[in-house]
Amino acid sequence: MIGGDFATEPRHEGPLPQGWKRGAVSHGSRVRSAGFWCCLLGYSLLACLCLPFDGRRRTYKRLMRACSSTMLQIAGVELEVLGLENIDTVSPRVFVSNHASMLDMVCVIAGISEEIGFLYKEEMHRIPLFGWALKYGGLNYPIHRSSGPIVHSQLRHVVSGLGSGRSVFVFAEGSRTDDGTVGEFKDGAFYLANKTRVPVVPVTITGTYDLLPRESLLIRSGKVVIVIDRPVETWSLGIADTKRIVRREIMEHYNRHSVEQWERLSCPPIKTGCRRK
């Protein structure tokens, strides 16, 4: 855990303080954005074509990692991953993270080499090519947004995957943030950990909201930091206690690295109208 004022008095819950305004999107950013999305569609098409001949999904996995790394390079995104030593590649884990941008999954796939299945909204299957590759790849876990027998059946499938030794990654807020703040965590990830008694690994992602916020397809270049914390053992904790501890860890890292990113900018973020160069 990080000590000091971040542990007791979080300074901000979003990457941009009040009064800070993003600068206009440059022509270069538009070109990079076009390349970013074309890369995603191209790799998705290639993955769909390979699936019938890729029973063990080895090619599919390589394509996912290659696609993610290439997309970040095209977009001019620098990725730093801290805490890789906290990943246990022998036994399964439930990775829990905040969710700020469509860049989040791309950065996680590029930065964490362990084979992880993502929980994602089932409606993503509607996205041409990418949604089809996600659906028929069979390595991730779609979740219906309603409640009832369908969701319980899907969660049992995730529990089965954890029981077979495969880790799962969950964006605990359920959807991307609208304003850069970290929202309340839903119970799903902690139910899975409690049910299977596997540890929860807090993962903090900072920088993605500023580069690709919700409702935007234009990407800015910049730096993203992923912090992987020490696992939280769940065998003696309930769902509520596990959620509280994990969210506290994520908020501490989120506040710290967000402030560090502001301090690297050329003008103080407290000034109204200040723009990033």
Per DSSP, the residues of the chain read ---THHHHS---SSSS-TT--PPPPPHHHHHHHHHHHHHHHHHHHHHHHHGGG-TT-HHHHHHHHHHHHHHHHHHTEEEEEE-GGG--SSS--EEEE----THHHHHHHHH--S-EEEEEEGGGGGSTTHHHHHHHH-SSEEE-SS-SHHHHHHHHHHHHHHHTT-EEEEETTSS--SSS---PPPSHHHHHHHHHT--EEEEEEESHHHHS-TT------EEEEEEEPPPB--TT--HHHHHHHHHHHHHHHHHHHHHHHHHTSSS-TTSTT----
Q: Could you tell me the pLDDT band of residue 3, with boundaries at 50, 70 and 90?
A: very low
Looking up residue 124, the CATH number of its domain turns out to be: 3.40.1130.10
In a domain, 119, yes or no: yes
In a domain, 75, yes or no: yes
pLDDT score of 101 more than 80 = yes
In a domain, 63, yes or no: yes
Q: Could you tell me the pLDDT band of residue 11, with boundaries at 50, 70 and 90?
A: very low
For the chain, percent of residues with pLDDT exceeding 90: 53
What is the tally of structural domains in the chain? Answer: 1
Return the pLDDT at 138: 85
In a domain, 270, yes or no: no
Q: What number is the average pLDDT over the span 235-256? A: 92
In a domain, 83, yes or no: yes
pLDDT score of 5 more than 80 = no
In a domain, 200, yes or no: yes
In a domain, 187, yes or no: yes
In a domain, 250, yes or no: yes
Q: 258 vs 92, which has greater pLDDT?
A: 92
Domain with 198, as residue range(s), is 23-263
pTM above 0.85, yes or no: no
